[in-house]
Amino acid sequence: MSTNIDSWQNLRDELKNSLQFKLGAVTKTVFKKMNAELVNEGIPVLAEQLPILMVVYFQEQARTQQDIANILQKDKAGIQRSVQTLHKDGFLKIESDIEDKRKNLISLTPSGKFVCEQIQSLAIAFNNQIMEHFTEQEWTTFLGYLDRVVKVVDK
């Protein structure tokens, strides 16, 4: 019986320290803190929506929802829900593609552009708050490890 309990505890500890759980915990914590910062600054956007806004912001021309999904490596349905919400909130403009009526082109509204500029400053400050606790070498090494994990998983 004791061996069974020890086995379960070892498995629990192993899972708790697994890459998936650690990355999940970091993501949850970072998004929670970022959402609080966005609310504090009066920016009515969720941290989960930021990548979509930033992809559209940094593109020179309007993008399709599929383009955004491909760039972010997310499923089109999830992107579509967020695009609709951001459109309803007045940050994104959705227009039919002249060449292919089945596609929608996504671009920023003036409000969306303004919010993206606010978010950039906030994101940089947030990143700097975290970096204060690491040396430059530690931060570079950490980012390198994350890049390496992506390469290993994408094989």
pLDDT in tens, 53-68: 999 999 888 889 989 9
Asked whether the beta carbons of 36 and 43 are under 8 A apart, the reply is: no
Contacts of 86 (CB under 8 A, 6+ apart): 45, 49, 52, 53, 92, 112
Between the alpha carbon of residue 27 and those of residues 21, 23, 52, 63, 73, the distances in Å are 10, 6, 17, 27, 16
The overall average pLDDT reported for the chain is 90
- Judged against a pLDDT cut of 60, whether residue 1 lies above it is answered with no
In whole angstroms, give the CA distance from residue 85 to residue 49.
9
CA nearest to 109, candidates 96, 86, 91, 85: 91
- Judged against a pLDDT cut of 90, whether residue 101 lies above it is answered with no
Whole-number pLDDT of residue 3: 64
| Residue type present at position 14 | E
- Judged against a pLDDT cut of 70, whether residue 130 lies above it is answered with yes
- Judged against a pLDDT cut of 90, whether residue 2 lies above it is answered with no
The whole-model pTM stands at 0.79
Mean pLDDT in residue range 113-125? 93
**Residue 18 — pLDDT band, cuts 50, 70, 90?**
confident
Mean pLDDT in residue range 2-29? 81
